[in-house]
Structure 1
Amino acid sequence: MKKQQQYQLLDKKTVHKSYTRWIMFNLVATSYEFLEAFGFAYSMEPVLKKLYDPKSKEYREALKRHSIFFNTEPQLGSLITGITVGLEEQRALGNKEINGDFINSLKVGLMGPVAGIGDSMIPGMIIPILLSIGMGLGQGGNVLGPIFYIVSYNLIAILGSRYLYYKGYELGTASVDLFVGDVAKKVTQAITVLGTVVTGGVAASYVTVGLPIKIQMANATLDIQKILDGIFPSLLPLLVVFVSWYFMAKRHVSPIKLILAYFIISFVGYGIAYGIMAL
């Protein structure tokens, strides 16, 4: 399909309203049965009202079509919303190659590839990088750290998703090639590896666990932490990272519960260590 001309039946205000609804309300009224479906339908509503008579059968069918199960990474997922808007416009213009089943199949087909790339890129790479910079700036109680993270993340998310939305609307089905095929798989794998490296770097820099146990001997002091560092430096932080990953990924323990557990363990452990050193 050739690159379509923008705003043939839709105007800029309607398209922008659709994008704003998606980026603001993509996770509204979620459930296991629908997830982002209602957010998607809500973003499509102004477009459908512009293309079809709200009392017509076409309008009802289109709104129903966009209310079925939908789930993807929201920021990169704006590309799918933009593509769908463009396809609905082409369908309303009378393009016989595009029907409701084609639009729905394309949405469903893009959910997985876009989610794979988006989840690897945003939670797996961008967020850890921004958090590491923010934590570095925020050391000592500097308010610049959280401000940097909030501003930088929102700028990247909003500007990036807006660009992808309009690019999807502009290219239509031609943008599918960006997220399907061998190239997309290689990009996803590269981003996943990079995200893993970044997460490991953040953990190594900011996770600190020590055993402040020093046993007084007859002629010397036995420092347990120095012994562990001599055998395997940063062994305890590494174990904490693996244990955290295991409980969250395999046992589905929430981060809040894990933090509370670590607090209790630290409190009890400090008491035990203090008692040992007092002997």
Structure 2
Amino acid sequence: MMDEKKISQKTLNKSFNLWFWGALTCFSQEQMQTFGYLASMLPIIKELYPDKKKQQENIHAYTAFFNTNPMLGSVIIGTTASLEEARANGKGIDGETINDMRAGLMGPIAGIGDSLIDGTLIPILLGIALGMSRNGSPVGAIFYIIAWSLIAYFGQRFLYFRGYKLGDKAVDILVGTQGKAIRKAISIVGGMVVGGVLASWVSVTTSLKLRDSSGRVFMDLQKQLDNIYPGLLTVIVTFLCWWLMAKKHVSAIWTMIILIGVAFLGVLVGFFNPGLSY
């Protein structure tokens, strides 16, 4: 009887590090994370299949399109490693099964990751860092770099090896009823966090004041707006950004350029006052 093949800890570590450092290798709109995924599986394929021809045949399972949240996506790589190990041991797993698993997990993991990481974790860390950076202190920036780096590395590592341990059970957890509940809960928390950060750190006000012939101010627009709806301009700018990116699919860079243009025109006509003195 042939000995059961087992991926060594050294190879698993190498596979994880290739994903961590190269998830976006050769990134393009056509391939997205395909090559990063492929590179992370190369050490595993080489160890499980010593024969070069067999390596070439089995690596084709990882050339299909792949794109998900890079941080939480490590659980898919770990799960794939487990399935590849099962395939090498003749347990009824083939390339099509692996591709089906990958296709089934890409969407749910992207949904969870984008809400949890981009919509919750990063705003929380940035909020803490901004508070620590008052008066120009560099402590906040240092804190964010260190905290994010540690969370990103050890968080992805934990998910990779958890996926490897769970194998195909990870699919049921992430795609089933439990996964849907997790995604819904995280999206709600993410929305609350973004709203809290918005209310704390974003402030759009107008300096427009109407004066009579004697120069006396008879209407301060900002005070009038605050009486009607405090923070109204901040809400309007926020919804403008959301509308541009979510509905019109304008990139973040172009959205920032548009905001700069609006601010520039606002200063020219006297609607905004940057408070600069020369």
Distance apart, 1:54 and its partner CA: 4.7
Equivalent residues in 2 for 1:1-279, closer than 5 Å = 8-56=5-53, 58-95=54-91, 97-217=92-212, 221-273=218-270
The one-letter amino acid paired with 1:199 is V
Give the Cα–Cα distance (whole angstroms) in 2 for the partners of residues 255 and 269 of structure 1: 21
The one-letter amino acid paired with 1:14 is T
How many residue pairs are counted as aligned between the two chains? 267
SS of 2:67 mapped into structure 1: coil
SS of 2:191 mapped into structure 1: helix
Distance apart, 1:52 and its partner CA: 0.7
Distance apart, 1:267 and its partner CA: 2.8
Deviations 1:142-185 (A, max 9, x none): 11112222221221111111001011111211222220211111
Aligned in 2, Cα 1:264/1:114: closer, same or farther, shift over 3 Å? closer
SS of 2:248 mapped into structure 1: coil
In the alignment, structure 2 segments of 5+ residues that lack a partner are 273-278
Aligned in 2, Cα 1:54/1:131: closer, same or farther, shift over 3 Å? farther
| C-alpha contact 2:206 2:271 (8 A) present in aligned 1 | no
Give the Cα–Cα distance (whole angstroms) in 2 for the partners of residues 272 and 59 of structure 1: 67
The one-letter amino acid paired with 1:271 is L
The alignment yields a C-alpha RMSD, in angstroms, of 1.9
SS of 1:215 mapped into structure 2: strand
Q: Which has the higher contact order (CA 8 A, sep 6+)?
A: 1
The one-letter amino acid paired with 1:272 is V
Taking structure 2 as the reference length, the TM-score comes to 0.90
Give the Cα–Cα distance (whole angstroms) in 1 for the partners of residues 51 and 223 of structure 2: 73
The one-letter amino acid paired with 2:248 is R
The one-letter amino acid paired with 2:82 is G
Give the Cα–Cα distance (whole angstroms) in 2 for the partners of residues 251 and 244 of structure 1: 10
Q: Percent identity?
A: 43
Give the Cα–Cα distance (whole angstroms) in 1 for the partners of residues 22 and 204 of structure 2: 40
SS of 2:66 mapped into structure 1: coil
Taking structure 1 as the reference length, the TM-score comes to 0.89
Give the Cα–Cα distance (whole angstroms) in 1 for the partners of residues 271 and 162 of structure 2: 61
SS of 2:230 mapped into structure 1: coil
Distance apart, 1:129 and its partner CA: 1.2
In the alignment, structure 1 segments of 5+ residues that lack a partner are 1-6
| C-alpha contact 2:27 2:33 (8 A) present in aligned 1 | yes
